[in-house]
Chain A
């Protein structure tokens, strides 16, 4: 593209000149291959974006402005306004992801006030309607020692900052919230009774002093000028049997300061007095808050045992409020927490309440007083850790047709009768379809069956919180969800063990993670189409797992077995019956901190599987060298590589490892080393070192090449380096021969190059297609929120070398990788904080499906070699039909007229 645009710029003559000077190929190539952008009317046709905000930390209803909103601040350091009716994001500000973006306080009145960061803090004011920044001032604390326990709140336009120093005193400082003017020095309140179990229910700071039997409940209004300590014996509130009493503040912007004792009793502070409410906490796990209503303040509790329930009582009388009570069996909310609640009186004197509930699975629901869910947001999707694209099953009819061809045995008559039967079946379905079409309105959801081009798939997303989603890739709608609270998703891997191509067997997907507490392996097997647990279901191992691999050979039920290598280097296989299938299976385990890679051969000794250590590589040059592996990239299992004819590509069998090791011992001589290791034999195939560079954990390995990114400290820029492995001009083995790493005694020749990348990438992936015939593009997600497509020809080492044997001319040499605006996949749909890019092949060879995860989800499809197997999107079927029809008519009419003319001539 760059070539062409450079040429077109001046004038037509310039273009002609350019065409003269360039080879025709380049022009051809530029036109066909690299114009990847879409047209205006295609916006949203192949792609969708979903915006998320993250798990809600603070929330408050914006009751002042006309458009009703909920202002939320989240764990992902996002400040956003959600539409009260739909739950959609009205405006959103994404802060820094590091601790500098941590939101400490959200206060909503006419303006939205936030405190973010951690020393220095930034106090900002936002317009609640538009989200425009109104003011900002920063605050740096001199003494950083106890900052972690600091509390913030806003009171009478004053920002209060409180730091308790346990056992001695409390420091309280007040600032003008608009300009940061300090109202004198910070006051130090002597408080030797403070400890780590204290709770703040602004402006009161409450502690339990002493042990349980003789303990005192102490509370202090830290903002009042006169120090008035409220003190009551603890025995007034709890029975003294328990050895430990804990305090917890009320949730959800309680209108009256208060707290719960031992998750049983609710105490509020009124008129500087502690007041025990007549209402007890209904369920130990309940979330309690006090909300204002027309009939006086109400205590609202929400909990979930089997069903999600809520109940409200009047604070003054303790009587139950009938209107505000429900129990919902359908709604599954693990550990619900009331984030925020608001009750108003409707015109018909009815209580209208909106309660924002956040559950442990990070989902957020806005619930009405009668228990109806107005909207839900699955904020777990803002933190996706693993993605798998799963094919859909064929429709029943297609399955019947396919099974017809499967049956090989039987006489010719049997085959004929089967044929007739299926034809009748087809006819029946058509008739049924007609009836349905006439009778009732078909529901809009398309059935979950495979489409002709294989573009319709299910995306299975595993999120950090342990919630697994099944999503329709065309619409982005969530089809099913499964929450496993015990799943620790660090290093989680997902395998499709059986596709939906093998009816009557269901598709089979396995998620291998860790148990939250023990760290032992936790295996979840489910049907990715329905989300139901199948097979091994939820399997909890009693040992920690080192690595997991999928056996390449399926068993009788077309199920690929799972090979589990545990901490003690024992091997298990699931299902056990597949053990005899293990053959020529190797595994490697890379250890991050020690920069060592272990290789294992998985052997079957007739009874069980054993793991034999075969090789060990110290990538850092030995233990204790301070090297560590930044990332390991492996070829997608089952990826086809078409090596013949492409300069005799060296195809590392099964995969290779790119360990990038970073010497952190000396700051100025950081080295980034990329090492290509043959994972079967342990041989180092290629290696490359970059001095004065810092590694980014981004590497792509596909076909015969490796691309990885690092930050060049010397030139202060990001660079992308590539290594390509070739066998040389002669092929090593004949076509169709078996390649074994263990028997290869030659080293491939490596061509390498590094290019400047004028952007800051945060994720990288290569496009994948069904048969790997299509060109490869590298997809880079940039920190600016763009996802760009870089053709591999721009990263090749031979770029600018000249035409190869087949006359293909690579793009002209340049030190940098061009990132034109047309190469941006997500045009103006910025993906906030992109973290990973996932690709999957579609049924069409030309097309690759792409999902970008991060704070947002962005899905699209790319065609690296253009859609050569598909008619253009705007192909005019009508025009071509009309033209064809007209031509046929014209042919026959001219024939008729011509014969008449001939006849007339003959008669003359």
Chain B
């Protein structure tokens, strides 16, 4: 039907919107417009700007753990050395966060390539290690680390006795 219609249409209709098969010839640029210069400028400025920002941002991230150290020290001081629920929670957080962060290093620095990435990663790593060491120190001062020999008593062989005795008060 439609074809018939269209054919009918085609028969009688006059198409004013004839597609112009001929390619449009390039229009001349307005005066004073230099296409190449413009493109060049925008390209370069955008690139350097975002790069710098990213690097700055990433340095922030990389230095984050180190910046936390004084805060952590303060928390540790406030938590005290007694073993109860809150100090334990705090120490747990202190230890768990940097470890998690270490495992997430790759994803944190995913979008970065370049010369500074290695340095950033290294600083980030060092910062987290410092935090872990601090937490371990805290555990140590709380006596939570099995560093005493008394913590390994269960595996110690008891002394054996050589002589065996019997006896008591005289039965007579």
Which residues of A approach B to under 8 Å, CB–CB? 24, 491, 493, 512, 514, 519, 544-552, 563, 565, 567, 584-592, 600, 629, 631-632, 634, 637, 640-645, 651, 653-655, 679-680, 733, 735-742, 805-807
Contacts and interface: CB of A to CB of B under 8 A. Distances in A.
B50 to A, nearest CB: 38
Interface in B135-172: 143, 148-150, 153, 156-172
B82 interface: yes
B24 interface: no
Given A737-B160, A740-B163, A807-B143, A629 B169 contact: yes
Contact of A643 (B83, B148, B158): B158
Contacts of A651: 159, 161
Contacts of A493: 168, 171
A587 B167 contact: yes
Contact of B158 (A565, A654, A736): A736
A379 B65 CA distance: 81
A738 B172 contact: no
B163 A654 contact: yes
Given A645-B149, A738-B160, A585 B166 contact: yes
Nearest to A655: B165
Contacts of B162: 584, 653, 738-742
Given A640-B158, A642-B158, A644-B156, A545 B164 contact: no
Contact of B82 (A24, A565, A739): A24
A733 B159 contact: yes
A666 B153 CA distance: 51
B169 A679 contact: no
Counting chain B CB atoms within 10 Å of each CB, which of A545, A585, A632, A654 scores highest? A654
A653 B161 contact: yes
Contacts of B83: 24
Nearest to B83: A24
Counting chain A CB atoms within 10 Å of each CB, which of B143, B163, B166 scores highest? B166
B139 to A, nearest CB: 14
A436 to B, nearest CB: 45
B171 A548 contact: yes
A547 B158 contact: no
| 3 nearest A-B residue pairs (beta carbon) | A549-B166, A736-B157, A654-B165
Nearest to B84: A24
Contacts of B82: 24
A514 B171 contact: yes
A886 B109 CA distance: 46
Nearest to A637: B166
Nearest to A491: B171
Given A565-B167, A632-B169, A805-B148, 20 more contacts: A491-B169, A491-B171, A548-B166, A551-B164, A585-B164, A586-B164, A586-B165, A587-B165, A631-B169, A644-B153, A644-B156, A655-B165, A679-B165, A735-B156, A735-B159, A736-B157, A738-B159, A739-B160, A740-B161, A740-B162
A590 B171 CA distance: 9
A491 B83 CA distance: 53
19 contacts: A514-B171, A544-B171, A546-B172, A547-B168, A548-B171, A549-B165, A549-B166, A584-B164, A587-B167, A588-B165, A589-B170, A590-B167, A590-B168, A632-B169, A644-B150, A645-B150, A736-B157, A738-B159, A740-B162
Given A645-B153, A806-B150, A547 B159 contact: no
Contact of A547 (B150, B153, B171): B171
Nearest to B153: A645
Interface string B67-106: 0000000000000001110000000000000000000000
A572 to B, nearest CB: 14
Contact of B170 (A551, A590, A680, A736): A590
B170 A587 contact: no
Nearest to B150: A645
A545 B156 CA distance: 42
A544 B172 contact: yes
B84 to A, nearest CB: 7
A745 to B, nearest CB: 15
Contacts of A742: 162-163
A547 B84 contact: no
Contacts of B167: 547, 549, 565, 586-590, 600, 634, 679
A210 B156 CA distance: 84
A361 B23 CA distance: 134
Contacts of B158: 640-644, 735-736
B81 to A, nearest CB: 10
Contacts of B168: 493, 547, 588-590, 632, 634
B159 A737 contact: yes
Contacts of B150: 644-645, 805-806
Nearest to B168: A632
B156 A550 contact: no
A866 to B, nearest CB: 19
Contacts of A805: 148, 150
A739 B169 CA distance: 26
B165 A680 contact: yes
A736 B153 contact: no
Contacts of B148: 805-806
A805 B159 CA distance: 22
A737 B160 CA distance: 6
Nearest to B151: A645
A391 B82 CA distance: 44
Nearest to A552: B164
A472 to B, nearest CB: 29
A586 B172 CA distance: 19
Nearest to B152: A645
Contacts of A655: 165
A399 to B, nearest CB: 30
A546 B171 contact: yes
Contacts of B169: 491, 589-592, 629, 631-632
Nearest to A656: B165
Counting chain A CB atoms within 10 Å of each CB, which of B84, B149, B150, B168 scores highest? B168
A807 B83 CA distance: 12
B10 to A, nearest CB: 46
A736 B159 CA distance: 4
Interface in B44-75: none
Contacts of A735: 156-159
Contacts of B143: 807
B171 A584 contact: no
A32 to B, nearest CB: 14
Contacts of A589: 167-170
B120 to A, nearest CB: 41
Contact of B166 (A491, A550, A632): A550
A868 B115 CA distance: 60
Nearest to A731: B159
A591 B158 CA distance: 34
A654 B159 contact: no
Contacts of B166: 547-550, 563, 585-587, 637
Contact of A738 (B149, B161, B170): B161
Contacts of A585: 163-166
A357 B156 CA distance: 61
Nearest to B81: A807
Contacts of A807: 143
Nearest to B160: A738
